[in-house]
Amino acid sequence: MAKILINGGVPLNGEVAISGAKNAVLPILVSCLLADEPVTIGNVPHLHDVTTTMELLGQLGAQLVMDDRMEIQVDPRTTNNFVAPYDLVKTMRASILVLGPLVARYGHAEVSLPGGCAIGSRPVDQHIRGLQALGAEVSVENGFIKARATRLKGARVVMDMVTVTGTENIMMAAALASGTTVIENAAQEPEVVDLAMCLNAMGAQIEGAGTSSMVIHGVERLHGAHYNVLPDRIETGTFLVGAAMTGGKVRARNTRADTLDAVLSKLEETGAHVSTGDDWIELDMGGRRPKAVDLTTAPYPAFPTDMQAQFTALNCIAEGTGIITETVFENRFMHAQELQRLGADIRIEGNTVIIRGVKEMSGAPIMATDLRASACLVLAGLVAQGETTVDRVYHIDRGYENIEEKLSGLGARIRRIAG
């Protein structure tokens, strides 16, 4: 199993190009199932989750062609299988996103229940309830969600909690339903907006994306389109935190500052100088040690849970004590114990971690348990004195394109080694 080897202590400096957003490209690729013509998606990041999604769409019978610029053309006209098997769903929970499109377009879907994962139990009851509200017959049998419908009918769907993929599943299903659907308490994440924009480019009529109340007027068909995925705000934030932790100066290119308000304001609180342009963000720490910050995760536009682990790493070497509260997932502090192995002073109390910054951490072998935990451990390795090896980096490949190459480009001493 591959590992990442880091020799810490070098400030990050330079420019890094940000890739397309994982959490946008996955639902967007899946949404192509709704069309009756080929759809081309650009700015696709080279990620393991993208490969898994392509494999899943291929198993459903769609034809996919990728060109050398990583544009993917999805031709959904040959779709002839409606089952998302456990083997794929267990490696990528976002597979649940085929449920809405398959039942809306083909009247039939069987998707393996995703089950829990390292960060929490992550049920999908809201996806099921939403589809039932649109008139689908849904049952759970032998570990599979089985859904059937002739044609879905628009309805008012009130989500019990803000769910990103839940909102996306219902939005995609409602796009081809008869009549109008209103989703209340909808997720407002930029990736939800990106999906709505892609669907609208295919002929859907979706209003209110980016607010808590979305209105979807169902249409008879969706046609082909060309759509470019928005930049990854979590990848952007991860590199900026790296610059802040190492006292460096990094400009992230091909990104969008307007999707990162909560993260940038926390970075400014650390003492970093942050400047932004149309498609770039620059963070200059000027060789200083960051100040510890307190934060609480919550749905967008609040501070994203997908940046929590990275800020936990930052607080480990910051000046002062930082308190981080996780309200989205019930078990998202698996990185804390690994950070302790590097010498961090962290205490977990329920859904809060209290981190007293230490002046120095020291390298050690550590192990990643999930995607953002692995990013956090790599960041910690960048500041720890000596050698850190991060094991189980397959997690990081789910969501970061060429992370070690991008970090090397910023001056980090990092490389991938065979396990």
Ligand X SMILES: C=C(OP(=O)(O)O)C(=O)O
Residues serving a catalytic function are 117
100 binds ligand UD1 (CB under 6 A): no
Location of structure tokens 């419908």? 149
Which helix (H) or strand (E) segment is 278 a member of?
A: none
Which does residue 399 bind out of ligand X, ligand UD1, none, counting CB within 5 to 8 angstroms by kind? ligand X
| CB neighbour list of residue 236: distance below 8 Å, 6 or more residues apart | 18, 252, 255, 260, 281
Which of ligand UD1, ligand X, none has residue 166 at its interface (CB below 5 to 8 Å by kind)?
Answer: ligand UD1
User: Among 40, 126, 238, 270, which residue interacts with ligand UD1 (rule: CB under 6 A)?
Assistant: 126
Residue 90 engages ligand X in binding (rule: CB under 6 A): no
Q: Which of 99, 164, 183, 204 binds ligand UD1 (CB under 6 A)?
A: 164
Residues contacting 250, CB < 8 A, separation 6+: 12, 13, 14, 15, 16, 239, 240, 242, 243, 282, 283, 410
Q: Which amino acid, residue 17? A: A
Q: Select from ligand X, ligand UD1, none the partner in contact with residue 415, using the beta carbon and a kind-dependent cut-off of 5 to 8 Å.
A: none
Overall size of the chain counted in residues? 419
121, burial (CB in 10 Å: exposed 0-12, middle 13-18, buried 19+): exposed
Q: Does 399 bind ligand X (CB under 6 A)?
A: yes
Is residue 372 at the binding interface for ligand X, with CB under 6 A as the rule? yes
The CA distances from residue 227 to 28, 195, 199, 278, 337, in Å, are 9, 10, 9, 20, 41
Tokens for 73, please give them: 């053309």
For helices 371-383 and 308-316, what crossing angle results, to 10°? 20
Nearer to ligand X, 10 or 302 (CB): 302
Q: Is 369 in the site for ligand UD1 (CB under 6 A)?
A: no
Q: Would you tell me how many other CB atoms lie within 10 Å of the CB of residue 65?
A: 11
| Binding of ligand UD1 by 193 (CB under 6 A) | no
Instruction: Find where tokens 């202590």 sit.
Output: 9
Question: Which of residues 23 and 185 has its CB atom nearest to ligand UD1 in the complex?
Answer: 23
Q: Which of 238, 227, 280, 281 is nearest to 399 (CA)?
A: 238
As a whole number of angstroms, the distance between CA 353 and CA 356 comes to 10
CA distance 397 to 401: 7
Nearer to ligand X, 94 or 183 (CB): 94
Q: How far is the CB of 395 from ligand UD1 (least distance, A)?
A: 13
What distance lies between CA 279 and its chain's CA centroid?
Answer: 20
H/E stretch holding 152 reads none
Distance in Å, CB of 125 to ligand UD1, minimum: 5
Q: Of the candidates 67, 87, 125, 184, which one interacts with ligand UD1 according to CB under 6 A?
A: 125
User: Nearest residue by C-beta to ligand X?
Assistant: 306
Determine, following the binding rule CB under 6 A, whether residue 101 of this chain makes contact with ligand UD1.
no
The residue range among 147-155, 164-172, 311-319, 361-369 that interacts with ligand UD1, by the rule CB under 6 A, is 164-172
Mark 285-324 with x for binding to ligand X (rule: CB under 6 A) and - for no binding: ---------------------x------------------
Closest distance of CB 372 from ligand X, Å? 5
Our finding on whether 123 is near ligand UD1 (CB under 6 A) is yes
Known binding residue 22? Answer is yes
194 contact choice in ligand UD1, ligand X, none (CB below 5 to 8 Å, kind-dependent): none
328 annotated to bind ligand: yes
252 binds, among ligand X, ligand UD1, none (CB under 5 to 8 A by kind): none
Q: Say how far apart CA 417 and CA 419 lie, in whole Å.
A: 6
Which residues fall in the annotated binding site for phosphoenolpyruvate? 22-23
Judged by the rule CB under 6 A, the positions of this chain that interact with ligand X are 22-23, 93-94, 306, 371-372, 399
Judged by the rule CB under 6 A, the positions of this chain that interact with ligand UD1 are 23, 26, 93-94, 120, 122-127, 161, 163-166, 191, 305-306, 328-329
